[in-house]
Amino acid sequence: MGNSKSGALSKEILEELQLNTKFSEEELCTWYQSFLRDCPSGRITQQQFQNIYSKFFPDADPKAYAQHVFRSFDSNLDGTLDFKEYIIALHMTTAGKTNQKLEWAFSLYDVDGNGTISKNEVLEIVLVSVPPPSGWVVLGSLRAGETLLRLLQRE
């Protein structure tokens, strides 16, 4: 696929990423070298992703939410993120168009990947996206989730 460990980003992937993101050739090549330093296999595993993600939330355990985010970025469903998936995710979440962000959000909430979002899937994401720093917040997030579920049931 061009995401080999050779140290050079394939021309095909470079051109595709330049067409589909805001990133320049220089930025992509620099990020690719950094990506290979951090992930010599050329892929990020779900565990590595969770470890990286947890650095952004040192006082919480965002493991469950990170699993859902990882799933939504793993476009070929092989259980890893290659450089292309990583850059597309980075672009989409930071500079993507509104419809791209909405498509990503939909894929995040569509936990079972069946093309629809159920009330239970919304509840699952809401409950894991509120990292509880203490026990009383867990209770608060459960109440928020239950309230959201009741609101959804009205529709």
The pLDDT tens digits for 1-13 are: 444 445 689 999 9
Backbone dihedral angles phi then psi of residue 8, each to the nearest 5 degrees: -120, 135
Distance of alpha carbon 84 from alpha carbon 103, whole angstroms:
18
DSSP label at residue 118? -
User: Which residue type occupies 126?
Assistant: V
**pTM for the whole thing?**
0.74
Query: Which of residues 135 and 96 earns the better pLDDT score?
Result: 96
Res 3: pLDDT: 47
Strands 80-82 and 43-45: antiparallel
Backbone dihedral angles phi then psi of residue 7, each to the nearest 5 degrees: 100, -10
Which of 112, 107, 63 has the alpha carbon at shortest distance from 85? 107
Span 37-79, pLDDT tens digits: 989 999 999 999 988 888 877 766 778 888 999 999 999 999 9
